[in-house]
Amino acid sequence: MPDAIRWLSSWLGVGHGKHRAIHRAIEPTIVSPEPKQSEDDRKRLTHDADMYFRKLNDNGRKHLAGLLNVSTGSLERLRVGWYPSQQMTTWPMLNADGIIIGIRLRCSETGQKKSVKGSRGGLFYDPVSMASIEHGARVWITEGASDTAALLSVGLDAVGIPSAKSGGELLLALGHRIRPSEWIIVADGDGPGLESARLLRSELVIVAGARIIVPPSGIKDAREWINRGASRDDLIAEAGAAELFRLDWGNGGAA
C-alpha cells in the first residue's frame, strides 16, 4: 500500500518518484450547429405542401377523416395533403408567423411518422383562424397533428406540438403575438405526456395562465378522448375544473 501511494502521488506530480503525470491539453468539444434553414428551403417546403394538398382530393379527404374520426374541415384548415410516392399523408409544420418550416409525413394506416428532408419541427395549426382569434380567447394545446385535427373538429382553437417536450419556444412566440387569456394543455394519458405538459406549462405561463387536463384512465390522447364521445362542452368543463397555474407577480413567482 505505501508503494502504491508513493507511485500515485508521483504520477499526480505531488511526490518525488520517477513517474510524472502527463498533462494533455483538453480538446474543446465542438457541436456543429444544425444548418440554418434558408429562405429558398422554406419556399420549397411551402410549394411542396401546396402541391401535396392539391393531390388529396375530396374523396381522399373524406376517407382520411373517417379513418381518424375527425372532420374534413379540420384537415382542410391544417392543409393536410397526400404524398403519392411515399403513400403517406402530409401535415405542414409552421412557425409562429404562420410560415411553413417543415412537413410531417404520416401513414394513416400504421401511424408511422417521418418528415420531408430539410424540415424543421414546427407547430400544427390553422394560421388564418389563429391570426384572427378573438383577443383573450383560450388556446388549446395538444401533442401531434391528428390530435390537433380532433380538437379543431369540436370547435376549439387548437395548436399542436410536433412531439413531447418540444415546441415551447414557438408557442411562446405565437402567444406573444395572439395574447390568449389562457393555455389549455391536453396532455397525453401517460407519464411522459404529463411530464411534457408540465414542462410546457412552466414555459408558457409567462404569456398567460395555463391549465392541464388529462384524458380519463385508459384513454391515450385527445383524439381518442373525443372519439369516445367527449364533446366540446365536456372538454371546456374539464378545463374549468383544472387548476390554473399563473405568475403571481406580487409573490415574485408562479402560483
CB 242 within 8 Å of CB 211? yes
Nearest 5 degrees, angle CA 118-CA 122-CA 127? 120
Domains of the chain: 39-254 (3.40.1360.10)
pLDDT of residue 172: 96
pLDDT of residue 152: 98
pLDDT of residue 26: 41
DSSP letter at 214 equals -
- How many C-alpha atoms does 40 have within 13 Å on its Cβ side? 0
**Is 96 exposed, middle or buried (CB count within 10 Å of its CB: 0-12, 13-18, 19+)?**
buried
CB 104 within 8 Å of CB 162? yes
Mean pLDDT, 10 residues at a time, over the chain (255 residues)? Answer: 62 52 44 70 96 97 96 98 95 97 90 90 95 86 97 97 92 94 95 93 95 96 97 97 84 56
Helix (H) or strand (E) holding 131: helix 127-131
Residue at 211: amino acid letter:
R
Phi, psi at residue 71, to the nearest 5°?
-85, 150
